[in-house]
Structure 1
Amino acid sequence: MDSIIELRHLKTLLALQETGSVSLAAKRVFLTQSALSHQIRALEQHYDTPLFERKSNPIRFTPAGERLLQLARELAPLLATAQRDMAQIIEGEAGELRVAVECHTCFDWLMPAMDTFRPLWPQVELDIVSGFQADPVGLLLTHRADLAIVSEAAAQNGIVYQPLFAYEMVGICAKDHPLGDKAVWQAADFAAETLISYPVPDDMLDLLRKILLPAGINPARRHSELTVAIIQLVASRRGIAALPYWTVMPYLEKGYVVARQIGHTPLQSELYAAMRQDDADKSFLDNFCQIVRERSFAELPGLSPLGKP
């Protein structure tokens, strides 16, 4: 049989397998849902067989779909290696990548991504700008950093963004706290509580910016620099907190605290990689973002893809 398989088809199949849904896969490969469905239909019509079961959740591939998925898994690392080799041949292997972060929990996924990146780009000097950065984009503009991890893709001259991922923020409380009896917390549930958070401005806390302040609620505060200290304070009923699900999952498994959904539509936060527009075509920057996405989706629970900002 003649083949119509293209690399874009294989990337789509991988995205379907990794996300488990057509809508999330479309975001992952930066297509509309209808465009992604059209790709799949074209393959199915060519081979005259379905590739996955339409009503399964998550997606369950047919034997034909599994065979194409196997091909995608085999070719993806070969293609990535060839693209990286071509970039190093054409652009050179050397460079500097100083990473600034405004997120206290970023190191959970940033360090593994850096470990993967280093042997692939040995001539690139990779470093983290020390300390928590309240204005990482400012460090880009003054050439004190080369890539910044930020929670908003705010339009700014000379700065471009790559989407990394979205994740759920959950409310956590002690096991015997009254809020533990509620499946979903609303803004009013925080009014009489002490909110334990990292010592950052209010506009950098999505719980405050998206949920509490619009509802006119500004609870009492207590701060800690360390995630484990926040967990301990919550477990001791010194207050409640909102943290990424991937951060609190190990403590949930040990029974230290309980987690609850915030809002009828779960509270989502986003992460983007910001860089100078003049550097946006550097292959090692693009590859670093790709590695971050791949490692994070493979290892962190509860992530969802972001479209282009």
Structure 2
Amino acid sequence: MEIRHLKLIREVAETKSLTKAKDALFLSQSALSHQLKEIESQLGTQLFHRVNKQLILTNAGKMVLESAERILKELEKTERSIKKYVSGTSGTLRLATQCYTCYHWLPSLMADFKKEFPNVEIEIFHNNNADVEDQILDGSIDLAIIYENSNRQNVDYHELFRDEVFAIVPKNHPWAKKSYVEATDFADQNVIIHSYPLESVSLFSQVLIPEGISPRKVMQVQVTEAVVELVKAGMGVNVMAKWILEPYLKNEDLELIPVTKRGIHRTWAAITLKDENRPQYLENFIHHLRCNIGELCCCVN
């Protein structure tokens, strides 16, 4: 039995007439009559009684109608959902970021985005130990925000902004009077990082690993407030962007020191799967990223 058969049963059951049903189904009466005979022959039973020029459902017909209404209702619901998805007005956006410190800007960005796309749900994935580019490729997430990329095939990189990271130390730290610090300066320091692996941390990938320098100790702390308090207490040093630290610099307890004479610079990008049929809400979310975090980060560097 095909979908067209189910639609025929539903329409004839409602109108009780092939003549009336033909207008709704855009078929001739003879074509409908042929289809009805085809269904009844396939099922081996009558689906309608002919009573006073009306077609009245038999018990078998009622069973088919019950299934037809359920199936057609579900198909119509799916069709509406697909149309909304294709038009970019409805869907789910699964988001991850390579850096834990990015999440503080997310609530305000989501509020702006929701005004434009109220029917798009945003799911946030916090596990950044996994390779987010692999997650994009296997379909686990739809968009990731990263600052290091490998130019994978089938991944689109949408540049957002550039920033610089600085060593943060308390005012009384020996580095406080330096114009910049070098890789060797970190050899006798406790270095606080947000997450492993070390290869994903800019300080290590751009400075320490190429120079073959290992700090005295590496500590993982994922909460920015806790990192700042540990640095202020002299428990270690951290390397972070100024835009992330901006709320904590007002009390003047911290000093920012460039790392190496050339500095450590990062290019942030939103990455998505290469897809010509990418939903409109995904394109607009990237635009919101540029407008929200892009302007925020550029204006404080």
What interval of TM-score do these two structures reach, taking the shorter chain for normalisation? 0.5 to 0.7
Distance change >3 Å, CA 299–CA 98, structure 1 → 2: same
Question: Partner of 2:56 in structure 1?
Answer: none
For 1:148 and 1:171, locate their aligned partners in 2 and report how far apart those are by CA, in whole Å: 26
Match of 2:183 among 182, 187, 212: 187
Distance change >3 Å, CA 193–CA 89, structure 1 → 2: closer
For 1:114 and 1:121, locate their aligned partners in 2 and report how far apart those are by CA, in whole Å: 10
Match of 2:279 among 270, 282, 288: 282
**Quick check: 1:239 aligned with 2:256?**
no
Question: Partner of 2:32 in structure 1?
Answer: none
Q: Is the 8 A contact 1:102 1:150 kept in 2?
A: yes
Question: Partner of 2:253 in structure 1?
Answer: 256
Question: Partner of 1:218 in structure 2?
Answer: 214
For 1:133 and 1:195, locate their aligned partners in 2 and report how far apart those are by CA, in whole Å: 19
Judge which range, 115-124 or 272-281, deviates more.
272-281
Match of 1:118 among 114, 131, 137: 114
Amino acid across the alignment from 1:181? K
**Quick check: 1:104 aligned with 2:100?**
yes
Q: Matched residue of 2:96: which SS? A: strand
Shift of 1:134: 2.7
Question: Partner of 2:289 in structure 1?
Answer: 292
Distance change >3 Å, CA 279–CA 128, structure 1 → 2: farther
Q: Is the 8 A contact 1:245 1:302 kept in 2?
A: no
Distance change >3 Å, CA 297–CA 164, structure 1 → 2: closer
Amino acid across the alignment from 1:138? D
Distance change >3 Å, CA 196–CA 101, structure 1 → 2: same
Q: What are the equivalent positions in structure 2 for 1:157-176 lying under 5 Å apart?
A: 157-176=153-172
What TM-score, normalized to structure 2? 0.67
1:188-223 deviations in Å (ceiling 9; x for gaps): 211211111113101110111001111111112122
Distance change >3 Å, CA 191–CA 276, structure 1 → 2: same
Amino acid across the alignment from 2:286? C
Percent identity for Structure 1 against Structure 2? 28
Distance change >3 Å, CA 264–CA 291, structure 1 → 2: same
Match of 1:142 among 128, 138, 144: 138
Q: CA RMSD in A?
A: 2.2
Larger radius of gyration: 2
Shift of 1:278: 2.1
Amino acid across the alignment from 1:109? W
1:131-170 deviations in Å (ceiling 9; x for gaps): 4343222222222211111222322232211111111101
For 1:259 and 1:215, locate their aligned partners in 2 and report how far apart those are by CA, in whole Å: 22
Q: What are the equivalent positions in structure 2 for 1:50-129 lying under 5 Å apart?
A: 91-129=87-125
1:214-236 deviations in Å (ceiling 9; x for gaps): 11111121221111111111111
Match of 1:201 among 194, 197, 219: 197
**Quick check: 1:132 aligned with 2:128?**
yes
Amino acid across the alignment from 1:266? G
Shift of 1:280: 6.5
Q: Is the 8 A contact 1:245 1:301 kept in 2?
A: no
Q: Is the 8 A contact 1:168 1:269 kept in 2?
A: yes
Amino acid across the alignment from 2:156? V
Question: Partner of 2:147 in structure 1?
Answer: 151
For 2:300 and 2:267, locate their aligned partners in 1 and report how far apart those are by CA, in whole Å: 10
Q: Matched residue of 2:151: which SS? A: coil
Gaps of 5+ in 2: 1-83
Distance change >3 Å, CA 95–CA 179, structure 1 → 2: same
Judge which range, 192-201 or 147-156, deviates more.
147-156
Amino acid across the alignment from 1:103? C
Question: Partner of 2:13 in structure 1?
Answer: none
Q: Matched residue of 2:100: which SS? A: coil
For 1:146 and 1:296, locate their aligned partners in 2 and report how far apart those are by CA, in whole Å: 19
